[in-house]
Chains A and B, each alone.
Chain A
Amino acid sequence: MKPFSGTSLTDHALTTGEVLLTYWKVKAEYQWDAGLAMSTYLNGLKQGKLLGIHCPQCRRTLIPPRVFCELCFRPLDQWVELANIGKINTYSVSYVNWDATRRQTPEVPAVIEIDGASPGMGILHLMGEVGDTLEAITRRLKVGTPVQAVWKPDSEREGAITDIRYFRPIG
C-alpha cells in the first residue's frame, strides 16, 4: 500500500507529550425518585411478586406497570398480580464486558413475555441454567420457550429488578 503523504501521528508523540491530551472524569451522581408505579412494582419484587396494571379502556395488562396508559392517555389504578412465568420473546448471547474484554462464559439477556400480561408486554432480564456454550444455549432456548423466575431468598431482596436472580427454562 502506498503511504499517505504528510507526517503520521506516532505513539511516541503521544507518550512524550509532543501531542497533548487532557483528561477529566465527571462526577455525575443521581438519586432518582422511582415514583408511584415503579415503587409499587419494586415493592412487589421485594415480596417475590410480579405486579402489572390493567387498562380498562384498551384492555391491556401492562408490565412493568405505569400509572397511565400511554395509548389511551388515562390514569390507571387496577393493579394485578401476575405469574412469575412467561415465554422467551427474544434473547442474545453476550460475550463482551463493558470494557470490551471478552467473557469466558457468555451472559444471556432476554425479553420475557409474562403470562397474563398483554402480548408484547414483558420484562428484560437474564437467563440462567442454560449452559455455558453457544451450542448448549441455542439448543435449550428458542423464541417461545417457557421460563420461570428464580428469586433471591427473602432476606436478600431489596426492591430491585435484581431481586430476581435470573429466569430459567421450564418444561
Chain B
Amino acid sequence: MLGERVAIVGAGYTPLRPISPEVSFREMIFEAAVKAYADAGIRPHDVSTFVSVAEDYNDGTAITDEYVPDQLGAVLKPVQTVSGDGITGLASLVMQLETGQLDLAVIEGHSKASNVVRPAHIQAFALDPIYARPLAFHPNYVAGLEMRAFLAATGNTEAQAALVAALNRASALRNPLAAYPARMTADDVLTSRPEAEPLKRGDIAATADGAIVLVLARESQLARYKLNGRPVFINGIGWGQHTPNIEERDLHRAIYAEQSGRMAYKMAGITNPASQIDFAEVDDTFSYKQLQHLEALGLAETGQAGRLLEQGVFSPGGALPVNVSGGHLGCGYTHEMAGLRSVLEVVLQLRGTAGERQLPGVRVGLAQSWRGIPTTSGAVAVLGRE
C-alpha cells in the first residue's frame, strides 16, 4: 500500500520519428521539459528531484546522466539515472516521493535509437558472454524462441500475432505522435520477410527517436503548487524479473509481467483486473508479446488473448481497449523511454485529452513495460482518475 498517493501532474513530449537529425538529444529533452513544466504550471526551480531513464550503450556515452541536468532545469539538483525501463524509473521516483521529504519530482526518458549504428551488436552485448554470445545469432532469435514456445503452449496462432501488428499500426493512424502508422492486414505481416521464424519483419516494432518528461507530485501538495489540469494518480506500481539464463526460462511465459502485475494490483486494490481495468497499454515490441503480456497480466485467460483480439475485445470500441496509441509497433520502440510512452498514453486518456482516439468514460488504465531482448524484466503501473 502506498503511504501517500502520487499523481502525474504534467506531461511534455516530442513526436516520435524514425530519425531526428535536426536536434541533439539535449534539445529534444529541452522541448519535452518546457512543455511538461508549462503543462503542470510549475517552474523547474520548484522541482526537488529528477530521474533519468537511460542505458549508456543505447546513448553511446558512459555515465550519460552527467549530460542530462542542463536541459531539464536540474542544474545543482539531485539527478539519478535508472538504467531500466521507464516504469521501473517511475517506481523509483514514486519511492523517493513516498519518503515525504520531497514535493515535486520529474522523470525524463529519451531515445536517439537512430544514432546507434549497429543496434544488434548492442543487443548481443547484453547476452551471456560465455554461453550465448559466441553462438553469434542475431539477437532477435530470443524472441523467435519465445514466440514458438508461447504459441505452442497456449494455442494462440501466428495469424493472431500478425493481427496484433496490423491493428496497432492502424490505431497509430489516429495518434499524431506515432512514427509508424500504416494500413496493413495480418496477411501483410504473415508474408513479410522471415527474421527469426516464427517471427517475421512485420511482427517487430521499429525503433524511433523522441523525448518524454513527466512531472509528479504528492497528493497533499497539489493545492500548494496550484497545479494546472487534471492529476492522474499512480494507484499501484510493481516490477519483476526472471532468470538471465535463456535455457532456464519458462520461455512461453512472461513471468516478469505476472510478478509486476500482482505487485501493482495489490497496491491498487485490484482483484479482478479484466473487469476493473478500463484500458491498457502493454508492451508489443514483438507482436506476440502483446498477447503474452495480456495473459500474464490476467487481462485474458491463458490461450484466449488471440481469440479475444479477433473478436474485437481489445479494439478501441471493445470491452478492454489495448494499445489505442498504436503501441510500440505503431509508435516506434524507444528503448528505456518505451514504458513512459505507454504511461503517457494512459495519462492523456484519463485526462480526456487523447483527441481523435479518446476512449469515452475511462477511469482506470494500466501501462506495462518490458526491457526488451534479452531481458526478463519489466514493470506495471495502474493509473486512475481518482
Interface of A toward B, CB cutoff 8 Å: 22, 24, 26-38, 66-68, 70-71, 73, 75
Contacts and interface: CB of A to CB of B under 8 A. Distances in A.
B116 interface: yes
Of the four ranges (under 10, 10 to 19, 20 to 34, 35 or more), the interface on chain B belongs to 20 to 34
B73 A33 contact: no
B112 A33 contact: yes
Contact of A35 (B26, B57, B122, B129): B26
A33 B22 contact: yes
Given A33-B22, A36-B27, A66-B26, A22 B121 contact: no
B30 A68 contact: yes
B27 A28 contact: no
17 contacts: A22-B130, A27-B118, A28-B60, A28-B118, A28-B121, A28-B122, A28-B125, A29-B117, A30-B116, A32-B24, A35-B26, A36-B27, A37-B27, A67-B27, A70-B69, A70-B70, A73-B34
Contact of B118 (A22, A29, A70): A29
Given A70-B69, A70-B71, A34 B122 contact: no
Interface in B1-52: 20-27, 30, 34, 43-44
B133 interface: yes
Contacts of A75: 30, 34
B69 A24 contact: no
Contact of B22 (A30, A31, A35): A35
Nearest to A74: B34
A33 B23 CA distance: 6
A71 B24 CA distance: 19
Given A22-B130, A24-B129, A32 B71 contact: no
Nearest to B70: A70
B22 A28 contact: no
A149 B352 CA distance: 57
Contacts of A68: 27, 30, 70-71
B60 A32 contact: yes
Contact of B75 (A31, A34, A71): A71
Contacts of A37: 24, 27
Given A32-B25, A36-B24, 16 more contacts: A22-B129, A24-B125, A27-B118, A29-B118, A30-B60, A30-B117, A33-B21, A33-B22, A33-B25, A34-B24, A35-B23, A35-B27, A36-B27, A66-B70, A67-B27, A70-B71
Task: Determine which residue in B25, B26, B69, B75 has the highest number of CB atoms from chain A within 10 A of its CB, and name it.
Answer: B26
Task: Determine which residue in A22, A31, A70 has the highest number of CB atoms from chain B within 10 A of its CB, and name it.
Answer: A70
Contacts of A29: 116-118, 121
B191 interface: no
Nearest to A68: B30
A58 to B, nearest CB: 12
A27 B27 contact: no
A28 to B, nearest CB: 6
A43 B310 CA distance: 55
A33 B70 contact: no
B115 interface: yes
Task: Determine which residue in B24, B60, B114, B122 has the highest number of CB atoms from chain A within 10 A of its CB, and name it.
Answer: B24
A38 B23 CA distance: 9
A24 B34 CA distance: 42
Contacts of A22: 129-130
Contacts of A24: 125, 129, 133
A26 B121 contact: yes
